[in-house]
Amino acid sequence: MREPPPTSCDLPVLLPFRVSRTRTRFALHPAQAWLLGAWIAGLILVVPAFAQGSDAVRSPFQVVLRWAPLLLTGFSFNVAISLVAMLLGTGAGVGLGLGLLSEVPVLRRVAWGVTQFFRNVPWLVLLFFVMFLVPFQITVFGLRVPLPDWVKATIGFALPVMANVAEIVRGAVSSVPATQWEAAESLAFTRRQTLFRIILPQCLKRMLPPWMNVYALIAMATVQASIVGVTEMLTLTAQVHAAEGGRPELFAPLYGFALLCFFLYCYPIDRLTARLERRFETA
């Protein structure tokens, strides 16, 4: 507590409330930092000990280093799939969410059905569905448009994102006190104006943390695309393992590298989400 600044009057006054800024620094908890450090140290120091003996055999660390550029290219595919799926899914999901709030019963029921369906089926099954039913190229007005595997996987992941975002939108809108609707109505706003000018702007803050949660889940789920043959990080990891002769001692370092990449990508998102949640907490 600081001394109040000297004022010209001696009367007790109420000083303006000072908002202390939440720091947005990513601090690792000591235990977490220790774990991460131990992992990296293990990779660098302990694991190569396996390979002592013959010089011709590359140490696991050298193997990871040698293949890191290729594996990171694969990882960038995972990131691309998750980002595009999120973009498509959010666009469709906002529409679907507004459909859930519609005053037209038919529209509301259809939107409800679509949301429930895509929220309650396994992502992997949806992925299989899209991969095997959508052809590898489509002909639009005589123009052949190729649909590479990763694009199809993106559509497959966008579907559950859509349903989850719809539910986030619906939840956020209904969390705004009903009095706001009433107040807006009394001020002669139309339903549409109320929704777009009053309710939704307030919802953005509330929707952000759960939306980021969905993103982190999708980012981690993209490795499922390897099951349907998309050349992403996990597929490449398996192929690299085979190219290095499938030595059992390479299994942990190679897949560990994939784990580390995803962790380093998703952990900050998770921290940021938690921070935003605290910050936006409505009292």
Tell me how far, at minimum, the Cβ of 251 lies from another protein, in Å. 8
Among 140, 88, 92, CA closest to 114: 92
Residue with tokens 């990513």: 26
Answer yes or no whether residue 178 interacts with another protein by CB under 8 A: no
Query: Does position 174 bind another protein by CB under 8 A?
Result: no
134 makes contact with another protein (CB under 8 A): yes
> Which residue from 66, 109, 197, 205 is in contact with another protein, where contact means CB under 8 A?
66
Could you tell me the smallest distance in angstroms from the CB atom of residue 50 to another protein? 11
Q: How far apart are CA 40 and CA 20, in angstroms?
A: 36
- Give the residue with the Cβ less far from another protein, 21 or 144: 144
Cα separation of 153 and 145, whole Å? 16
* 125 in contact with another protein (CB under 8 A): no
Q: According to the binding rule CB under 8 A, does residue 101 interact with another protein?
A: yes
What are 80's two structure tokens? 């691309």
**Pair 224, 123: CB distance under 8 Å:** yes
Task: State the Cα–Cα distance between residues 64 and 71, nearest whole angstrom.
Answer: 9
| Residues contacting 18, CB < 8 A, separation 6+ | none
Residues that bind another protein (CB under 8 A): 54, 56-57, 66-67, 69-70, 73, 91-96, 98-99, 101-104, 107, 110-111, 114, 130, 132-139, 144, 155, 158-159, 162, 166, 191-192, 195, 228-229, 231, 235-236, 238-243, 245-248, 251
